[in-house]
A and B are shown apart, each in its own frame.
Chain A
Amino acid sequence: MAEKAYAKYAWILVFIPAFVLFVFPLASGWLSTSPEPDVIKGVTGITLDQIGAQNPGTGRLILELYHEFALTILAFGAVTMAIAAFPFRKGHRFAWYASWLAPALWAGITASLAILNAENPSAGSGLGPAPVFLSIVLIGVLGQLLPYRMFFPKRTMMGATPR
Chain B
Amino acid sequence: MTSQVGKGYEKHAWILLLAAAIVLLVDGLLSLIESASPSIISEDLGVSWEQLVGSSPTIANFVLISLRAGGLSSFVMSVFVMSLSRKSYRKGERWAWYLLWLLPAFFVIYGLELVSAGFPPVSPLTVLGLPLSLLGLLLPYRKFFPKNQA
Chains A and B are bound partners: yes
Alpha-carbon distance A76/B102, docked complex (angstroms): 9
Within the complex, the shortest CB–CB distance from B20 to chain A, in Å, comes to 13
Determine whether the beta carbon of B58 is less than 8 Å from that of A44.
Answer: yes
Determine if A75 is an interface residue (Cβ-Cβ < 8 Å): yes
B117 near A76: Cβ-Cβ < 8 Å? no
Q: Is B72 an interface residue (CB 8 A)?
A: yes
Q: Which residue of B lies closest to A65 (CB)?
A: B66
Shortest distance between the CB of B34 and any CB in chain A (Å): 10
**A105 CB, min distance to chain B CBs, angstroms:** 6
- A-side contacts of B70, CB under 8 Å: 65, 68-69, 72
Number of interface residues of B (CB under 8 A): 44
Q: Check B106 for interface membership: any CB of A closer than 8 A.
A: yes
> Are B74 and A72 in contact (CB-based, < 8 A)?
yes
CB contacts (< 8 Å) of B113 on chain A: these are 64, 67-68, 71
For B73, give its contact among A46, A61, A69, A97 (CB under 8 Å). A69
- Cβ-closest chain A residue relative to B81: A79
Indicate if the CB atoms of B62 and A72 lie closer than 8 Å: no
Q: How many residues of A contact B (CB 8 A)?
A: 42
Residue-wise, chain B 20-43 has the 8 Å CB interface mask toward A (1 for contact) of 000000000000000000000100
Q: How far is the CA of A62 from the CA of B63 in the complex (A)?
A: 6
Chain B residue nearest to A86 in the complex (CB): B95
With contacts A55-B46, A56-B46, A71-B106 known, is A64 near B95, CB below 8 A? no
B77 CB contacts on chain A under 8 angstroms: 72, 75-76, 79
Contact with B along A99-120 (1 / 0, CB 8 A): 0010001001000100010000
Chain A, 55-91, CB within 8 A of any chain B CB: 55-58, 60-69, 71-73, 75-76, 78-80, 82-83, 86-87
- CB-defined contacts of A63 to chain B, threshold 8 Å: 117
The CA of A141 and the CA of B76, in the complex, are separated in Å by: 17
Q: Are B80 and A101 touching (Cβ within 8 A)?
A: yes
| Known contacts A40-B62, A72-B73, A82-B95; A54/B56 CB under 8 A | yes
Contacts of A58 in B (CB 8 A): 45-47, 52, 59, 63
Q: Can you list 7 A-B contacts with CB-CB less than 8 angstroms, sorted by A residue number?
A: A51-B59, A72-B74, A78-B99, A82-B95, A83-B80, A86-B93, A86-B96
Binding site for A on B (CB under 8 A): 41, 44-47, 52, 56, 58-59, 61-63, 65-67, 69-70, 72-74, 76-77, 79-81, 83-84, 87-88, 93, 95-96, 99, 102-103, 105-106, 109-110, 113-114, 117-119
